[in-house]
Structure 1
Amino acid sequence: MSRAAAHPARAAGFALGALALFLAALVVGAAVGETRIPFATVAATIADRLWGGGHTLDPIDAGIVWNYRLSRAVVAAACGAALAVSGAVLQSLLRNPLADPYLLGISAGASSGAVAVAILGLGGGLLSLPLGALGGALLAFGVVSGLALLAGRGAAAIILAGIAGSQLFNALTSLIITKSATADQARGILFWLLGNLSGVRWPDAGLAVPVAVAGLAVCLLHARSLDAFAFGTASAAALGIPVRRVRAVLIGATALMTAVMVSIAGSIGFVGLVIPHAARLVVGVRHGALLPASALIGALFMIAADVLSRTVIPGQVLPIGVMTALVGAPAFALILIHRPVASTAR
């Protein structure tokens, strides 16, 4: 077999293996919890719901699998994939290995927008939570970008501006909660801000999955442009890349993905920072492979974090943002120890 023929065959093999691994993770996410459900029951429940398999199942087990755990695992996977892809794109666009939606203020702005809609009624009922989160995310990135331009060009200015923007919008969120929320609202919002998948159901998956898939598709269409950005905007422009248009499209895609995921699951840190570096260690820095790998690893990471959040303390569900930080921080430290933070340049 020629090398040209072997390459598509190898790519197809990797794709099938990734799909099998992803489906296995979804089954594990649906089976493992405080009450363990056999894998066979999970498979039979899915077969019944999707294809009318006609299996005789305990209705309680079937309800737990389909209505609670599987929908939660699907949303977790979509959130992990979207945040990881957003981190990989921002790290390339900004040529900074520390860039991610959380550090650049996008996540904090999305939280502020969502809280303003939920508690203050911003928009008079015309704005939904995802739209409020998207507006907050775009506003936050605009503030961070403007501050970085005023402070001076360079990665350090962008990171420092992102830290300042994150603190500003986190403070606005706290101010809204303190002044306007009832005690019950405050408890619910604060738990949600730590990252919470307890209330997600299939309608949430119907929003999260299309946004994650569309965002990944848009970013993949610009994979070669992202490779060019690794050499700087001047080099990208010299190669014929419409820098401003591509940058606007990609930033818009990452802001949309982040905003929707924050509106569903709250503010979840470390995924957009750690996962792209882990993916680079596996597949390298070319974005044609890096973006799908980041999406897959991010999805698996979030499913695993969700399972741990439900099982690490018997009888209690931890916020998933706590688990991503507890797992992500040591993982990032290991990456730093064994290999310096991977450069976004080739």
Structure 2
Amino acid sequence: MTATTAPSATTGQAPPPRRGIRHVPTGVWVVILSAVLLLSIVFAVTLGPADIRPTEVWGSILGHLGLDPTALGGDVLSPLRDGIVWELRMPRVLTAAAVGAGLALSGTVMQAITRNPLADPYLLGLSAGASLGAVAVILLGVGLLLPIAAFAGALTALLATLLLAGAAGTLTPTRTVLAGLAVSAFFGALTSLVIFWSATGDTYREILSWLLGSLSGAGWPAVAISVGALLVVGMPLMLTGRTLDAFAFGDNAASALGIGVNSARWLLLTATALLTGAMVAVSGSIGFVGLILPHAVRLVAGQRNRVVLPLSALAGAIFLIWIDTGARTLFDPRELPVGILTAVVGAPVFALLLLRARRIR
């Protein structure tokens, strides 16, 4: 039997059908995803060769905050187990959360600015520039400077892309994308040349691990860089939803709504590049996060960017936490580069999202 909708008592017409999960208020989604994120952080820290209980994670956090763990439901840990939680797993999980949130947020902004559903945070050649900087310092034997070199490489690629796009005329989405592709190809070729000419012995493995994306070396400095970038650059980006919604109707419509199109685009592209550069500097090149998470959120929450931006950040954080947890535990004692697992999971998920979007239309 097919269910029918009763007509309205005042108009005599059937009310419009609910939109399913899209009908859920944004605040409810934020609360749900925030709770899932907190639980994911706690339980991801418990997973690994050393069996850690959630109460021990809670106890370690309380202890390092100067509170009494036993009075607040936590366990007191031995120095060894506390070191596993606080020095090894916690900074890695927090870095994964920040990187996932930053990449998903950057992908959302890039797709809105360029009006290109296939845009991702690396569209402006940022990944290729960061890779060149990282490979250079690895080969020079100054790995401590890797985050700085990767960030500098990403900013160099951004500057080259924007200068090339600006030299070709007005900074439009099409010119920006084409300039980014050219810069990415050039920097990628330079990276390959440097590796071919100089890499020897164990440096090949170190370079390959970084190029494929890895959070294995993430410590509290990586947390400071990624979380700091997310707070300083990412939080303001979350407030640009109305501007991005205006861009969806084209430059003329955005200008009619009182937005300075060129200045806004330059500012948003620069902020996105800064955020992406900081994330790439601590994690290497991790694909698909900034591509699939915005699409998944739009299927659930609709097209309004002021809604999609915060939900994408939360979903990206949850996604990368569990992808990285799988990368370090599924093949123990061997660890898989996280970029491989995001591609293995992301490619079929993106295909399913495309098919689902087609059925919805």
Which TM-score bucket, shorter chain as reference? 0.7 to 0.9
2:203 corresponds in structure 1 to 185
2:91 corresponds in structure 1 to 71
Q: Is the contact between residue 104 and residue 144 of structure 1 (CA under 8 Å) also seen in structure 2? A: yes
Aligned equivalents of 2:360, 2:235: Cα separation in 1: 24
Residue 267 of structure 1, CA deviation = 0.6
Residue 16 of structure 1, CA deviation = 3.3
Match of 1:333 among 351, 356, 361: 351
SS at match of 2:202: helix
Aligned equivalents of 1:149, 1:236: Cα separation in 2: 23
1:1-346 equivalences under 5 Å are 12-54=27-69, 55-120=75-140, 128-145=145-162, 146=164, 150=168, 159=177, 161-340=179-358
Task: Specify whether residues 244 and 117 from structure 1 end up closer, same or farther in structure 2 by C-alpha distance, changes over 3 A only.
Answer: farther
Q: Is the contact between residue 77 and residue 300 of structure 1 (CA under 8 Å) also seen in structure 2? A: yes
Q: Is the contact between residue 81 and residue 295 of structure 1 (CA under 8 Å) also seen in structure 2? A: yes
Task: Specify whether residues 17 and 285 from structure 1 end up closer, same or farther in structure 2 by C-alpha distance, changes over 3 A only.
Answer: same
Aligned equivalents of 2:336, 2:251: Cα separation in 1: 42
Aligned equivalents of 1:334, 1:12: Cα separation in 2: 27
Residue 259 of structure 1, CA deviation = 1.0
Q: Is the contact between residue 215 and residue 253 of structure 1 (CA under 8 Å) also seen in structure 2? A: yes
Residue 310 of structure 1, CA deviation = 1.2
Q: Is the contact between residue 296 and residue 353 of structure 2 (CA under 8 Å) also seen in structure 1? A: yes
Pick which of 78-87 and 12-21 moved more: 12-21
- Alignment length, in residue pairs? 332
Q: Is the contact between residue 123 and residue 180 of structure 2 (CA under 8 Å) also seen in structure 1? A: yes
**TM score, norm. by length of structure 1:** 0.86
Aligned equivalents of 1:156, 1:247: Cα separation in 2: 13
Residue 222 of structure 1, CA deviation = 2.0
Task: Specify whether residues 332 and 13 from structure 1 end up closer, same or farther in structure 2 by C-alpha distance, changes over 3 A only.
Answer: closer
Pick which of 312-321 and 53-62 moved more: 53-62
Q: Is the contact between residue 100 and residue 273 of structure 1 (CA under 8 Å) also seen in structure 2? A: yes
Task: Specify whether residues 342 and 181 from structure 1 end up closer, same or farther in structure 2 by C-alpha distance, changes over 3 A only.
Answer: farther
Deviations 1:192-247 (A, max 9, x none): 11111111111110111010122222212322111101111121111110112211
Pick which of 13-22 and 302-311 moved more: 13-22
Aligned equivalents of 2:169, 2:267: Cα separation in 1: 24
User: Counterpart amino acid of 2:86?
Assistant: W
2:9 corresponds in structure 1 to none
Q: Is the contact between residue 218 and residue 253 of structure 1 (CA under 8 Å) also seen in structure 2? A: no
Residue 105 of structure 1, CA deviation = 2.0
**TM score, norm. by length of structure 2:** 0.83
Task: Specify whether residues 330 and 282 from structure 1 end up closer, same or farther in structure 2 by C-alpha distance, changes over 3 A only.
Answer: same
Aligned equivalents of 1:142, 1:301: Cα separation in 2: 30
Deviations 1:166-209 (A, max 9, x none): 33222211222232344233321221111111111111101110
Pick which of 142-151 and 309-318 moved more: 142-151
Aligned equivalents of 2:166, 2:180: Cα separation in 1: 8
Q: Give % identity.
A: 46
Residue 35 of structure 1, CA deviation = 3.2
Q: Is the contact between residue 270 and residue 329 of structure 1 (CA under 8 Å) also seen in structure 2? A: yes
Residue 92 of structure 1, CA deviation = 0.5
Residue 272 of structure 1, CA deviation = 0.9
Aligned equivalents of 1:121, 1:141: Cα separation in 2: 26
Aligned equivalents of 2:36, 2:80: Cα separation in 1: 27
Residue 52 of structure 1, CA deviation = 2.8
Q: Is the contact between residue 29 and residue 311 of structure 2 (CA under 8 Å) also seen in structure 1? A: no
Residue 295 of structure 1, CA deviation = 0.3
Gapped regions of structure 2 (runs ≥ 5): 1-24, 70-74
Task: Specify whether residues 88 and 324 from structure 1 end up closer, same or farther in structure 2 by C-alpha distance, changes over 3 A only.
Answer: same
Residue 24 of structure 1, CA deviation = 0.5
